[in-house]
Structure 1
Amino acid sequence: MLILLPPSEGKAPASKGEPVDFANLSFSELTEARELVAKELMTVSSHHDAPQLLKVGKTLSSEIICNQRILAEPAAAAAEVYTGVLYEALDYSSFTAAQKQRADSSILVISALWGALKLTDRIPAYRLSMGIRLGECGNLATFWRGELSSLLADYAQGHLIIDCRSAAYSNAWKPPQAQTYLVRVEQVQKDGSRKVVSHFAKHYRGLLARYLIMEKLLSCDSIEKLSEKLNSHWTVEITPATPKQAGILTLVVPAPPVA
């Protein structure tokens, strides 16, 4: 099984350590593309209108400054750098050594700066989203799609793929549709109707990834087997995949209690 995650907007800069070493990142075939994106990010971040170009608020000026020296900033494992809602729910630091090994082998992060990463890859904190145009790279989702398509198609062959990415990051790589299931979260309302969860979907996707690792479900090679295992803990509905369209794994969650 492969679990696809987006990066998080929230990041914890490493306080010390060596800078990123492109040669030591997973998928060395992406080195040239990563170097180009990093170069363009440093250039764009030095412009006076960098906040507009990178689509970030002016309160994040310190992160834009870090972008300017991205190749000199201390690096740490991606699992430590990414700190957003999804990664808080995943809670990688609480895993045992065996659980970390399972997470490291099954989780793939699709990144606007690095293309594809493992959680053990050492990276600096940065500010860059997939849904922007970046200098010579142009639209980043389009740029990375050209780099990732053949590389990751081979890597993903034979795996059941649980896709926890948001739409912007999904556009950077379309895995084989027949073996892919997009994770959707719906919340039951007071009247029994359902509402698609947006922001808190990240939380539940992180919990799902954690559960798959904790319960040793990564060996499930079919959605039928996985659904059977998940339904002992979650309310799960499956829309089957086809060769042309990914399936949907819907987590049905209760409404929060009334305060």
Structure 2
Amino acid sequence: MLILLPPSETKRVGGEGPALALDGLALPSLHAVREDVVAALVALSARPDDAARVLKLGPRQRDQIAVNAGLRSAATMPAMDRYTGVLFDALDAGTLGDAERAWLGRHALIHTAPFGPVGVLDGIPSYRLAAGASLPGVPPLRRAWVGPVTQALTAVDAPFVLDLRSEAYVALGPVPPAAASAYIRVVSDDGSGTGARALNHFNKRAKGELVRALAKNAPVIASGEDLLAWAAAARVDLRRTPDPRVWHLVV
């Protein structure tokens, strides 16, 4: 199974890892796009006023321009430790054991705006860039990433894809149409048995808790049926919907 996670706008600063090595990230076929996007972001950071406008930064956020300027030389940390916010607080990767972290390292990617999908154990620096950005010198991120990311995911040897990304990041590289997959929407049970009321804050927390449970159980999942069987045993309320590629996580 391959798990696709969204990033978070909030991130931890610093790190103890070496500088960013784009050629060491997961999905190496994305290297050329990564180089182009990172170069454009660093170049933009040399023009603070332009950077603030393009990245939609307020006066109190302009320190993020310097963060982007140092993208290539800043210290790194594993991607799943870099991000904070509701989903990653629920995942609480820092309290997972070595075996659990290693399981996630084999099965999960975080879809970032500047680097595309990266392994959860890949070292990345802090940065500021949203999925909808358009950087001078490169196509809008949706156009830059969509084809290469979907092609890279096609090459991953995973019989089933669990897609927990937000729609903004799905737009940067949908799961290949031929892949067996489930896009997860978090809903509350409205009494109808289908769980139709979508949630926002609890959406992120539920996804983080789901990934933590998977890491701790380390199940072998090669199909949707395997995932449903694991969920039933783990008391996770996952339900299919009329759309075979969209599932509900009911909380």
Q: Which residue does the alignment assign to 2:183?
A: 182
SS of 1:135's equivalent in the other structure is: coil
Question: Where do 1:150-189 residues align within 5 Å?
Answer: 150-155=151-156, 157-177=157-177, 178-188=179-189
Q: Which residue does the alignment assign to 2:65?
A: 64
Moved more, 174-183 or 160-169: 174-183
Q: Which residue does the alignment assign to 2:250?
A: 252
User: Which AA in structure 2 matches 1:98?
Assistant: A
Q: Which residue does the alignment assign to 1:92?
A: 93
Q: Which residue does the alignment assign to 1:18?
A: 18
Moved more, 99-108 or 28-37: 28-37
User: Which AA in structure 1 matches 2:122?
Assistant: D
Question: Where do 1:1-259 residues align within 5 Å?
Answer: 1-47=1-47, 48-155=49-156, 157-177=157-177, 178-188=179-189, 194-217=196-219, 219-232=220-233, 233-239=235-241, 247-253=245-251
* Cα shift at 1:135: 1.3
Moved more, 137-146 or 99-108: 137-146
User: Which AA in structure 2 matches 1:128?
Assistant: L
SS of 1:105's equivalent in the other structure is: helix
* Cα shift at 1:67: 0.5
Deviations 1:205-234 (A, max 9, x none): 1111111221222x1222123213213412
User: Which AA in structure 1 matches 2:22?
Assistant: F
User: Which AA in structure 1 matches 2:248?
Assistant: T
Deviations 1:143-185 (A, max 9, x none): 0113222222011x44211100001100111113351111111
SS of 2:201's equivalent in the other structure is: coil
**Number of residue pairs matched by the alignment:** 247
Taking the aligned partners of 2:159 and 2:198, their CA distance within structure 1 comes to 27
Taking the aligned partners of 2:60 and 2:189, their CA distance within structure 1 comes to 36
State the identity %.
30
SS of 1:202's equivalent in the other structure is: helix
SS of 1:63's equivalent in the other structure is: helix
Q: Unaligned 5+ residue runs, structure 1?
A: 254-259
SS of 1:183's equivalent in the other structure is: strand
Taking the aligned partners of 2:155 and 2:11, their CA distance within structure 1 comes to 30
Deviations 1:61-118 (A, max 9, x none): 1122111121121112112211222111111111111111111000011111111200
Taking the aligned partners of 2:42 and 2:174, their CA distance within structure 1 comes to 28
* Cα shift at 1:204: 0.7
SS of 1:87's equivalent in the other structure is: helix
User: Which AA in structure 2 matches 1:91?
Assistant: D
Q: Unaligned 5+ residue runs, structure 2?
A: none
Query: CA 1:151 to 1:17, structure 2 compared with 1: closer, same or farther past 3 Å?
Result: closer
Taking the aligned partners of 1:71 and 1:148, their CA distance within structure 2 comes to 22
Taking the aligned partners of 1:194 and 1:174, their CA distance within structure 2 comes to 23
Contact 1:75 1:123 (8 Å CA) reproduced: yes
Give the TM-score, by structure 2 length: 0.89
Contact 1:179 1:241 (8 Å CA) reproduced: no
